[in-house]
Amino acid sequence: MKASLIALLLPAAASARFIEANEVNRILPPTDALLENLEAPTRYLIEVAPGYTDWVTEEQKWELRRKGIRFMDITDNVDLGTLHASSKATTVFPGKVQLQSDIHPMLGNLSKDLMKEHLEKFTSFHTRYYKSDYGRQSSEWLLQTVQDTIKEAGADKYGVKAEHFKHSWGQNSVIATIPGQSNSTVVIGAHQDSINLWLPSVLPAPGADDDGSGTVTILEAFRVLLTSKDVIQGKAPNTIEFHWYSAEEGGLLGSQAIFRDYEKNGRDVKAMLQQDMTGYVQGTLDSGKPESVGVITDYVDPSLTAFIKKVIEEYCEIPWVETKCGYACSDHASASKAGYASAFVIESTFGDSDQKIHGTDDLIKYLSFDHMLQHARMTLSLVYELGFTDFEKLKREQEMGEL
């Protein structure tokens, strides 16, 4: 860019003070020796919109976030989206839901109590900041919990597994894999990290809603999905993965690393759904609006989004409402940039969503587990429907219809 984004987005405030003629100037200039020992702060390449990039310091990253400006930190992933650009194929999604007889009985097994139990533990870490040791510990706990869930279902005997996707900053992402009859993959995601945007390395960041709520929501959907013998025995046409991303708050770092790896290795990801903030409903109610599920409509795949609306209509007990969140507002943006169909569902319209995030007050007491249950119903239903979708057949039918 010709002009610095930071110069445009973060105008400097004047900080000089006039000094009287008879006043002692106690502001001493730095010595040459001090200047020589000062190290320039590390700078990161961020993208705030497609093609709009700038180099910033870490503190400038947090200042942007405090101002509500989202971005992707592409420093280590500048080639995301270019690795297999010529081989990208459009996914064809079903025109309607079809597996009601299988899914409806499963929905009653979703447990609000388990989501609360998991969220109480997850928010007990001082912070889940991705560069902190607390963030490492919370990731270790999450991996162990996912692995325990697999073992309790007896799914490990059939090759279902959960592993860390390792990162250099300490907090690793978690990927659970349910093998299917093909390598075509359906991904459900949430981010595990939290942040206090004022002093990330020091201050508490319970992150109950952002994104502890999404983390435990998809964990509960995963648990109930494993009660299906057809699923754990690998009879679904597609492989199913659940992702818990590290470092979303740092600029989608964990999800970028994963989808860069998938793109580089030619992974066939048919669909990716992100669940980021699923528990806060009070803003909607205070606005005099009916409780609903927020379906993001910008920077997402429109066909996948249309199918998600059908899933909500069939399997949830509340309606959907359309909303927008801007560029790079959660990890689905990484999948989208890699060329994969992605979507994002949030707790409400973006304007009515939780305003207590990114600080010390993002607490469980403000959340509704009844509302989180609706997100779990949607997540379980979507992944089951798409897990058993014959995408190649849909593609052939569309091609025949175009002849």
**Residues present in the chain in total:** 403
d(Cα 276, Cα 295) in Å, to the nearest integer?
Answer: 12
Q: What are phi and psi of 45, to 5 degrees?
A: -90, 115
d(Cα 184, Cα 176) in Å, to the nearest integer?
Answer: 15
Q: Is the pLDDT of residue 370 over 60?
A: yes
d(Cα 163, Cα 329) in Å, to the nearest integer?
Answer: 26
Burial class (CB in 10 A: 0-12, 13-18, 19+), 290: exposed
Q: What are phi and psi of 199, to 5 degrees?
A: -140, 80
* Residue of 65, 97, 380 lying closest to 195 (CA atoms): 65
Tokens encoding 158: 């059939």
Q: Is the pLDDT of residue 122 over 90?
A: yes
Span 52-67, pLDDT tens digits: 999 999 999 999 999 9
Q: Is the pLDDT of residue 260 over 50?
A: yes
Pair type for strands 43-49 and 52-57: antiparallel
d(Cα 377, Cα 384) in Å, to the nearest integer?
Answer: 11
Confidence of residue 37 (pLDDT cuts 50, 70, 90): low
> How many helices (DSSP H) and strands (DSSP E) are in the chain?
14, 11
Confidence of residue 38 (pLDDT cuts 50, 70, 90): low
Q: Given this model, what pLDDT does residue 299 score?
A: 97
Angle between helices 112-122 and 369-387 (to 10 degrees): 110
Q: Are 267 and 88 in contact (CB under 8 A)?
A: no
d(Cα 403, Cα 400) in Å, to the nearest integer?
Answer: 5
Report the pLDDT averaged over residues 233-251.
98
pTM comes to 0.92
Q: Is the pLDDT of residue 88 over 90?
A: no
Tokens encoding 269: 């990801």
Angle between helices 112-122 and 214-225 (to 10 degrees): 130
- Residue 54, classed as helix, strand or coil, is strand
Q: Are 257 and 165 in contact (CB under 8 A)?
A: yes
Q: What are phi and psi of 185, to 5 degrees?
A: -125, 140
Q: DSSP states of 227-286 as a string?
A: T-HHHHTT-SSSEEEEEEES-STTTSHHHHHHHHHHHHTT--EEEEEEE------HHHHH
Span 266-316, pLDDT tens digits: 999 999 999 999 999 999 999 999 999 999 999 999 999 999 999 999 999
Q: Is the pLDDT of residue 33 over 80?
A: no
Q: Given this model, what pLDDT does residue 4 score?
A: 60
Span 158-184, pLDDT tens digits: 999 999 999 999 999 999 999 999 999
Ramachandran assignment for 394, one of left (phi > 0), alpha (psi -120 to 50 degrees), beta (any other): alpha
Q: DSSP states of 173-215 as a string?
A: EEEEEE--SSS-EEEEEEE-----SSSTTTS-B--IIIIIIHH
DSSP 151: H
Span 193-213, pLDDT tens digits: 999 999 999 999 999 999 999
d(Cα 202, Cα 194) in Å, to the nearest integer?
Answer: 13
Q: What are phi and psi of 165, to 5 degrees?
A: -100, 110
Indicate the average pLDDT of the chain: 92
Q: Is the pLDDT of residue 23 over 80?
A: no
Q: Given this model, what pLDDT does residue 14 score?
A: 33
Q: Are 258 and 197 in contact (CB under 8 A)?
A: no
Q: Are 358 and 205 in contact (CB under 8 A)?
A: yes
Q: In this structure, what is the dihedral angle of CA atoms 377, 383, 389, 394, given to the nearest 10 degrees?
A: 90
Span 328-350, pLDDT tens digits: 999 999 999 999 999 999 999 99
Provide the percentage of residues in the chain whose pLDDT is more than 90: 87
